[in-house]
Amino acid sequence: MSEGKIRRPRAETPKGFRDYFGAEVSERKAMLDTIVAVYHRYGFDPLETSAVETVEALGKFLPDVDRPNEGVFAWKDEDDSWMALRYDLTAPLARVAAQYRNELPAPYRRYAMGPVWRNEKPGPGRFRQFYQCDADTVGAPSVAADAEICAMLSDVFESLGLGGDYVVKVNNRKVLNGVMEVVGVLDPADRARFAGERGIVLRAIDKIDRLGEVGVRALLGEGRRDESGDFTRGAGLSAEQAEVVMGFVSARRATGAGTVARLRDLVGSSAIGAEGVDELETIAALLDAQGYGADRIVIDPGVVRGLGYYTGPVFEAELTFEILDEKGRKRQFGSVAGGGRYDDLVKRFTGQAVPATGISIGVDRLLAALQAKGRAGGDAAGPVVVTVMDRDRMADYMAMTGELRRAGIRAEVYLGNPKNFGNQLKYADKRQSPVAVIQGGDEAAKGTVVLKDLILGARIAESATLEEWKDRPAQVEVARTDLVAAVKRMLGR
């Protein structure tokens, strides 16, 4: 680099991250406001925690990682303690529940929303920062709390206008543990034994939709080699053992009662398995009593959830309408939320078992779903733009803007170089402004303003004939005192 040449930073988003602009931020807020209204109706309180936690507090609960701190953005603080960006909103809740256990009501019901960070390899649609929206109940041992979470999640989708386009699936990890006990990879007297094999089984079942039966069977056995040649080690189950696990995955029947009966057969004499089946039966009865039928919430043994901290019921919400993938093929939109019971998470801090259950919604995916259904993503109207014809009369233009704002109308005065009026209208178009307010010297002398209907003007410009627009002028002159009312009328059109 030659002497005196300035090396400037590259203006680019870091790999795996993205920027959010006006309309998308507004749409996300509107969606979250709808979700929060449901959470609030169920009696949940908001909680905001720090984006940074100690690595010790976060623990090792990320799926598909082998090293304790893999998958998180971590650094060593000046006192040699390790800090990290939160990778979900549940681990911070466990810390809060332990730290403030004497002050919080029991049970404690909270919702939280915000960004989380995963130090993972980014890919199409997969980012290192994304939004989550959670609701959890801490301190309620009854599966009535799990049933309530499922009902609340169903109500969220109904409130968002997705009725008929979703299903909430419910399973129980105790049932799966019973199946693992039957096949010999869970020892009730030594839970640490076969932990590695159980983890592989969990992750394999969780990938049934992506890998299919053949791929899952391979992972239950010796392992699987993918299209790129990478080999994933399997759980080492025999063909007979794998058959029992696959029987669990395909245990769903036409009715909840039929599914429960099949699961009872599969868990055999396993006490933990029988307990899980009983809990599923109770959840189904509680939901049925509230009118949540199989068109909204179903028992589905195929749901296992990859995270290792789940101890009982687990939930997954799928959107069932079809979209086209990147290759133009039809497929279901898929999962947008998941959760379950995690009775041992707070115990890490207190040494005492604290029951907890909750759900996490993938905000970005759910917003994309609403956009795909046409329930979000429309062109957001910009502000009314008050143009500047005479820079010496800026106070007058700001007074107009202030009046519009006080009337609840989104408005702004043009603050760029006013020399070229055409550029002001181009700016208004770029801002998707519905109306431009114009007042030059002549209008000021007469006590009037000109209102330019930019939406109507654009339609006239696109129309092959002016007949349909001839009785609706795109530009009108009104009394200055009538500014607010005239703008409201124009916006109302």
pLDDT tens digits, one per residue of 244-291: 889 888 888 888 888 999 999 999 889 999 999 999 999 999 999 999
Mean pLDDT of all residues belonging to the chain: 88
Domain ranges of the chain: 22-372, 384-492
Given pLDDT bands bounded at 50, 70 and 90, which one contains residue 210? confident
pLDDT band at 197 (very low <50, low <70, confident <90, very high): confident
Is residue 59's pLDDT more than 90?
Answer: no
More confident call, 326 vs 241? 241
**Per CATH, which fold does 22-372 belong to?**
BirA Bifunctional Protein; domain 2 (3.30.930)
Q: How confident is the model at residue 306 (pLDDT cuts 50, 70, 90)?
A: low
Q: Are 143 and 283 in contact (CB under 8 A)?
A: yes
The answer to whether residue 454 scores a pLDDT higher than 70 is: yes
pLDDT in tens, 26-45: 999 999 999 999 999 999 99
- pTM comes to 0.82
Whole-number pLDDT of residue 319: 95
Instruction: Report, at the CATH architecture level, how domain 384-492 is classified.
Output: 3-Layer(aba) Sandwich (3.40)
What pLDDT band is residue 344 in, cutting at 50, 70 and 90?
confident
What average pLDDT score do residues 365-373 get? 90
